[in-house]
Amino acid sequence: MIDTTTTTPVLRVQDLTVRYGNIVAVHSANLEVRRGERVAVVGESGSGKTSLANAIAGFLDPLAGEVDAATLELDGVPLSRSGEQERIPRRTPGLSMVFQDAMSSLDPVWSIGSQLIAVLRETEKVGKKQATQDALQWLREVGITDPERVMGAKPHELSGGMRQRVMMAIALSSKPSLLIADEPTSALDASLAVGAMQLMVDLAERVGTAVLIITHDIELCRRFTDFVVVMYHGEIVEQLRSSELDNATHPYTRGLLACVPTLRSARLDQLPTLESVRAEAEEQAA
């Protein structure tokens, strides 16, 4: 059995700071994700979750934000992007990212088949015929029953739920070591969100991909992740095992835990703030 404590982490982040002009969106963050691990990032709106994720994935617009890090490594190799002045993000080998809105992950003018085949040809170094067979298989694996039709469809011709599945197929078909998912299920209602998460973690496990997932759903963290990282005002204030969430000490985490049932039933339009979770916890205690 492999001793995971001594193997190279998939992701190593030390002292990472993200600034937008005078705004410090992420302040000196330290984070490690080991092989096959699933880590959740939670925190109120504006706490810096997306900035952290985009800085790691290389999706931060260099004209808007600036990233500084003592260490930023994927599979032990520095993710050096300094000096890049391109505004169009490039794929980082070994890393995939999915978003809340599947439309923003997919190219609107290319068919699903051509997007999936392009990724498969690049990563598997296979011919078009083999890539087409593999693409059909990937679509079946994400539960699409008519893969031939979907291959020829443009993203806008599919339902939201199908686009979400296609996005996961494309993200994981390159067999990345790390998948970063920024609120991938927030646009779905509660029952669909659980199914989409299950699909994502099953596929990631099969491919051997570690997952860094941004969410505000504590129940999803408990059920699907190994560790939880709590952000507050740009800082990582707490990191703990998902199974030990009840021992969280930071007031924001405690507040979030205290009002889970109400939050769940309300299906938030907005993320909770420390003030709102405190008020809600007090209301429940009364």
Ligand X SMILES: Nc1ncnc2c1ncn2[C@@H]1O[C@H](COP(=O)(O)OP(=O)(O)OP(=O)(O)O)[C@@H](O)[C@H]1O
Structure tokens at 98: 């999915």
Position 104 contacts ligand X (CB under 6 A): no
d(CA 127, CA 149): 21
Taking the least distance from each CB to ligand X, the nearer of 9 and 43 is 43
Residue 38: strand pairing partners: 211
Beta strands 71-74 and 38-42 are: unpaired
Question: Comparing C-alpha atoms, which of 29, 96, 36, 38 is closest to residue 232?
Answer: 29
Position 23 contacts ligand X (CB under 6 A): yes
Position 50 contacts Mg ion (CB under 5 A): yes
Show the site string, 197-236: x = touches ligand X by CB under 6 A, - = not: ----------------------------------------
Position 96 contacts Mg ion (CB under 5 A): no
d(CA 128, CA 145): 22
Show the site string, 39-68: x = touches ligand X by CB under 6 A, - = not: ----x-xxxxxxx------------xx---
Taking the least distance from each CB to Mg ion, the nearer of 49 and 163 is 49
Position 266 contacts ligand X (CB under 6 A): no
Taking the least distance from each CB to ligand X, the nearer of 128 and 264 is 264
Q: Cβ distance 101 to 108 under 8 Å?
A: no
Residue 236: alpha-carbon gap to chain centroid = 17
d(CA 179, CA 205): 11
Residues that bind ligand X (CB under 6 A): 20, 23, 25, 43, 45-51, 64-65, 271
Residues that bind Mg ion (CB under 5 A): 49-50
